[in-house]
Amino acid sequence: MLLDMTVGTELWLERVREHYLENFIRHGGSKVKLVVGGAGTGKSHLLRWIAATAARMDYATVFLSLREPDAETGDLLRFSNIVEFYKAVAKRLDLNSLWSGVCTRVVRELGYKPEDYDFDRPIISMLVERERLPIAEAKRRLSEATASAWSHCGLSLAFVTFCFRLVACRGESIEQARADLCFRWLSGEKLDLADARRVMLFERLSKPNARVWLYSLVRMLTLAGWSGVVVLIDDLDFLPDGLNLQTGRPFYTPNQCKDIWESMRQLIDEGEKLPHLFVVLGGRSPFIEDEKKGVKSYEALWMRLQSGLAPGTDFNPWRDIVDADLLLRALGGNSFCEQVGTSLSNVLEQRGHARLYKEFTPDAEDSLLRQRVREAATMADGEVA
């Protein structure tokens, strides 16, 4: 529904799709962009449109919010260095699809198409049944194909081992428990020695090797069939503004914010070493402007981005810092907000939510755009997901 109800994509979103998703990132580029603007200017919607579009284009897509608690733990996302960035991304991947993708590369190496293989059965069964191979010969063929598929493809040794172990968990039998250990390792969890020995994965994620792990993760995903990796992080204004509700203290210290900005600087400066990675950060203006915790507080990053906020009244879709206020104005301002409300009502009606009059009092603090969206959702008959 999100894609259907979105209007005004021609000025920026379609350019993101055509230039970055269809071409630059897919062909090995890397980019970090920031979306900044006032409250209720559609920043989160822009990020979610990119996420939905990227997923349709076979990107591994991860959407994060600094204000939304983790669905499993209930904790807010802690993100203050490249290690935590890696963990946040790896934890939210579709691991079963990754398992299938890693095995599919081996299946292709064996000369088969993905549709030839039933992923609910061991790979070796295909060789024994289709080619009438003895089990010993089938094992040898599978071992050779795994080595050919994953040994010399630019991954770190630890990630090559991970791929070997993941294939082995589907090679002669389906070993879900052992695969789960592999996935725990991939997510950055420290395995105890006994578990590490079961899967032969001894290297641990740390600050010195985090960028190598991130590179290998993205590389592995592209080799396993994805177009690349798109990471969207919303609500970065929580960095300067957010409070710990239990203590009343700031959730992030100035030094932790500087660690985050240093991580972003590394992603920008080392883009050539992180091909197929697209990162989009979004939030209200304080995450840029705050001189103690915002981007401006970290000169090494601000020097690389400040041209993106060059003064001007015209929207520039190619700047690294995208001004959502200018985008909204360029799309028509108030008239565009009315168009959004109408479009949302039409989409909801097409999906069985007829428009019914209900009392609605707009919040005076809301932007016109947010008021029109909330009004359309309120007037829809039935519960809107």
Higher pLDDT, 194 or 360: 194
- The pLDDT-based confidence of 310 (bands split at 50, 70, 90) is low
For residue 46, the tally of other CB atoms under 10 A from its CB is 24
What is the percent of the chain with per-residue pLDDT over 70, rounded to a whole number? 96
Complete domains list, the chain, with CATH:
9-77+228-330 (3.40.50), 95-199 (no CATH), 334-379 (no CATH)
Q: What is the DSSP letter of 188?
A: T
Higher pLDDT, 371 or 59: 59
pLDDT for the residue 270: 82
What is the percent of the chain with per-residue pLDDT over 90, rounded to a whole number? 59
pLDDT for the residue 384: 63
pTM of structure: 0.92
pLDDT for the residue 311: 60
For 147-176, letters b (16+ CB in 10 Å) and e give: eebbeebebbebbbbbbbbbbbbbbeeebe
Q: Is the pLDDT of residue 304 over 80?
A: yes
**To the nearest whole number, what is the mean pLDDT of the chain?**
90
> What is the rounded CA–CA span in Å between residue 217 and residue 214?
5
- What digits encode the pLDDT tens for the residues 147-196? 999 999 999 999 999 999 999 998 888 899 999 999 999 999 999 999 99
- The pLDDT-based confidence of 309 (bands split at 50, 70, 90) is low
- φ and ψ at residue 59, rounded to 5 degrees: -90, 145
The packing angle between helices 95-109 and 123-130, to 10°, is: 30
- What digits encode the pLDDT tens for the residues 329-350? 999 999 998 888 888 888 888 8
Q: Is the pLDDT of residue 308 over 80?
A: no
Would you give the end-to-end CA distance of the chain in angstroms?
Answer: 10
Q: Is the pLDDT of residue 63 over 80?
A: yes
Averaged over 98-115, what is the pLDDT?
94
Q: Is the pLDDT of residue 241 over 90?
A: no
Q: Is the pLDDT of residue 15 over 70?
A: yes
